[in-house]
């Protein structure tokens, strides 16, 4: 096998080839490394190669068992620790901090047989919907290298879309799996709150908003990886009810006639690009053709209150990060704020003025918002919206040094007009790559499900993938 063969094979197929003796794990690793080395200079998706460690692991007989035995995999450089490497969060403040243990999620990846071959790029602290950190430089979109790959898991998505690996780890606190999945033409599912532990280092990131999982080329890879990694650790603040059947068994199973609510306008009053509106309407027609009951409707809530509370809440992401680093390094958070990127400095300056009572009150308001979405989804099986407010923007669109912090926050709210709801309510949601713009850029459609009900999403995603396959679509960098 050469690296030219890799883009056509998903994770499950690569594992089968090794299991059936059609290729060795060592040969697959060499082909993957060759593919990364060929494509990464253009995309800048992998920021820390782990090739020698991967070869040494195979020599020790590791990654030899499990459903994905010997298959190469990439890890986002945030939250998921890989022992013996730094977890930088794309920040200079953490660039030298080598961790001495695996996160539980990393341990589960290893038990499943996955072989980490590198770490992927993200925006600093994961606070933006793009991947353009000062520390590592921008990741470029394989569909158009002048455009963003999305974020914060933009390195992971660019690597998969660019054919380096068929699946890669990501995390999602405001859409950071679904955003780059939409920008790069991939499948991306954010699981239910507590579905995958963040232990042992974290109970959660902030208010239960962050969920880790993957971006993938195929629906079945996402389901199989969730089977391998779901479940809590003792002491977790949240946990999701275990599924009665495997997630993989849902892919290819008929979903039945679903009640699908469709919203094609921003509930926050922000602009939605006509191409995104056209994409979600086309997806709604496809769902109706497949026999589902489709209704144009939307949940009702106070959009102005959501906007103001969310802007305060999001300010706490960078603020919490700087306080945590300050405690670990015995440095002042104010001093540290002078060393971060302009957008995170803006968030810190805003967050430092927020009282603890404001944060707790806002969190309570979001709990009420969760009940609104819960009641809405009592009437519908899934909720269909655009994934994003626009197709992938040009690199520099979210540059707070150029545009100012508040203007970039406005752009954040416009771009992420649909993704943050599932994070605040703890709901599973997926971006499905069913549409492309006239310029050839991918546009995702988002489906949000009931709490704990990834199964319905996987059944629907499998049906959509069969009805309108996307694996044959190759971005220019991937094809080259």
Active site residues: 76, 152, 176
Sort strands 46-49 and 115-120 into parallel, antiparallel or unpaired.
antiparallel
> What distance in Å separates the CA atoms of residue 45 and residue 76, rounded to the nearest whole number?
10
- Angle at which helix 11-19 crosses helix 25-43, to 10 degrees, equals 150
Report whether 429 contacts 189 (CB < 8 A): yes
Which alpha helices (H) appear in 292-426, and where do they start and end? 303-329, 333-337, 342-351, 356-379, 400-403, 405-415, 420-425
Q: What is the DSSP string of 245-287?
A: S-SGGGTTS---S-EEEE--S-TTS----HHHHHHHHHHHHHH
Neighbours of 440 (CB within 10 A): 12
Residue 313: CA atoms inside 13 Å, Cβ hemisphere, count?
25
Q: Residues 52, 54, 60, 61: what is their CA dihedral angle, to the nearest 10 degrees?
A: -160
Scan for tokens 């603020």, then name that residue.
319
Q: What is the largest CA-CA distance in the chain?
A: 61
How many C-alpha atoms does 128 have within 13 Å on its Cβ side?
Answer: 33
DSSP 392-451: PPBTTTT-HHHH-HHHHHHHHHHHTTTTHHHHHHT--EEEEEEEE-TTS-EEEEEEEE-T
Tally of CA atoms within 13 A in the half-sphere of 285 that contains its CB: 9
How far is residue 20's CA from residue 149's CA, in Å, rounded to a whole number? 35
Alpha carbons 348 and 342: distance in angstroms, whole number: 10
Give which of 246, 45, 37 is closest to 142, Cα–Cα: 45
């Amino acid at each position: 096998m050469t690296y030219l063969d890799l883009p056509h094979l998903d994770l499950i197929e690569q594992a089968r080839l090794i299991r059936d003796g059609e290729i060795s794990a060592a040969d697959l690793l060499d082909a993957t490394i060759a593919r990364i080395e060929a494509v990464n200079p253009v995309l800048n998706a992998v920021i820390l190669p782990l090739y020698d460690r991967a070869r040494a692991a195979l020599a020790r007989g590791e990654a030899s068992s499990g459903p994905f035995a010997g298959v190469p995999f990439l890890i986002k450089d945030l939250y998921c620790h890989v022992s013996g490497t730094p977890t930088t969060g794309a920040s200079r403040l953490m660039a030298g901090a080598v961790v001495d243990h695996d996160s539980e999620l990393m341990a589960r990846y290893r038990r499943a047989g996955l072989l980490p071959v590198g770490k992927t790029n993200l925006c600093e602290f994961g606070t933006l919907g793009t991947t353009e950190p000062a520390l590592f430089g921008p990741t470029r979109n394989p569909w158009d290298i002048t455009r963003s790959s999305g974020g914060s898991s933009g390195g992971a998505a660019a690597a998969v879309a660019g054919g380096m690996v068929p699946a890669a780890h990501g995390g999602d606190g405001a859409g950071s799996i679904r955003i780059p999945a939409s920008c790069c033409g991939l499948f991306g599912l954010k699981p239910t709150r507590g579905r995958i532990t963040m232990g042992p280092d974290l109970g959660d990131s902030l208010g239960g908003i962050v969920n880790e999982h993957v971006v993938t080329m195929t629906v079945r890879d996402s389901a199989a990886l969730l089977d391998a990694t779901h479940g809590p650790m003792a002491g977790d603040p949240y946990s999701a009810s275990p599924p009665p059947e495997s997630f993989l068994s849902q892919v290819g199973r008929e979903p039945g006639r679903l009640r699908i609510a469709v919203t094609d306008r921003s509930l926050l009053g922000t602009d939605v690009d006509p191409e995104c509106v056209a994409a979600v309407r086309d997806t709604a027609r496809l769902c109706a053709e497949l026999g589902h009951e489709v209704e144009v409707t939307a949940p009702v809530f106070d959009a102005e209150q959501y906007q103001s509370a969310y802007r305060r809440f999001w300010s706490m992401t960078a603020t919490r990060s700087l306080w945590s680093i300050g405690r670990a390094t015995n440095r002042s958070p104010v001093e540290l704020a002078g060393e971060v990127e302009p957008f995170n400095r803006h968030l810190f300056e805003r967050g430092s003025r927020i009282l603890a009572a404001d944060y707790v009150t806002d969190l309570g308001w979001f709990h009420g918002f969760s009940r609104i979405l819960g009641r809405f989804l009592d009437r519908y099986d899934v909720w269909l919206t655009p994934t994003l407010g626009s197709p992938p923007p040009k690199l520099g669109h979210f540059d707070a040094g150029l545009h100012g912090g508040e203007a970039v926050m406005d752009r954040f709210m416009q771009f992420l007009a649909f993704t943050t709801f599932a994070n605040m309510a703890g709901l599973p949601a997926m971006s499905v790559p069913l549409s492309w713009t006239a310029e050839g850029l991918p546009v995702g459609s988002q489906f949000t499900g009931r709490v704990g009900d990834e199964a319905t999403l996987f059944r629907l995603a499998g049906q959509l993938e069969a009805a309108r396959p996307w694996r044959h679509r190759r971005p220019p960098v991937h094809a080259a």
